[in-house]
């Protein structure tokens, strides 16, 4: 079946550093979604991408919809301690269902 592969699985960085993570698929997607999950909470939608090549920002977060439509990237600039959490990518299968990546766990050292 379809899978979304997120990389890296985890990151431990210093406060102030920039962060990059990506999500790849063997299938083409028409939409890419990025979520963040704080410990003990539900995922929160960060960014939605609808068009190949699209670059969208939300504060210090920037996400890109890959040209091949098989990948997407999320960057966080100047990380802060509250960026800690799990970041998930997701893409639609059909009839409204989503497939999720396994997540990238981010830890930030003050």
Q: Looking at the DSSP assignment, which residues form a beta bridge with residue 55?
A: 64
98 binds other proteins (CB under 8 A): yes
Query: What is the spatial distance between Cα 7 and Cα 79, in angstroms, rounded to a whole number?
Result: 18
Residue 44 in tokens: 């929160």
How far is the C-alpha of 47 from the C-alpha of 73, rounded, in Å?
11
Region near other proteins per CB under 8 A, out of 18-26, 59-67, 69-77, 90-98: 90-98
DSSP structural state of residue 57: E
Considering the complex, state which of residue 43 and residue 85 has its C-beta at the smaller distance from other proteins. Answer: 43
Does residue 8 have a cis bond before it (omega within 30 degrees)?
Answer: yes
By CB under 8 A, is residue 103 in contact with other proteins? yes
Q: Which of 79, 101, 106, 108 binds other proteins (CB under 8 A)?
A: 101
Q: Does 96 bind other proteins (CB under 8 A)?
A: yes
Does 52 sit near other proteins (CB under 8 A)? no
The position carrying tokens 């890296």 is 8
Residues making contact with other proteins (CB under 8 A): 31, 33, 35, 40-45, 48, 88, 90, 92, 95-98, 100-103
């Amino acid at each position: 079946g379809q899978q979304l592969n997120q990389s890296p699985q985890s990151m431990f960085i210093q406060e102030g550093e920039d962060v990059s993570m990506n999500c790849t698929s063997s299938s083409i997607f028409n939409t890419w979604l990025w979520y963040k999950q704080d410990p003990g909470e539900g995922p929160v939608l960060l960014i939605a991408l609808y068009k190949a090549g699209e670059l969208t920002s939300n504060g210090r977060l920037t996400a890109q919809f890959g040209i091949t439509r098989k990948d997407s990237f999320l960057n966080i600039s100047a990380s802060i301690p509250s960026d800690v959490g799990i970041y998930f990518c997701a893409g639609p299968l059909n009839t409204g269902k989503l497939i999720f990546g396994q997540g990238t766990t981010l830890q930030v050292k003050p």
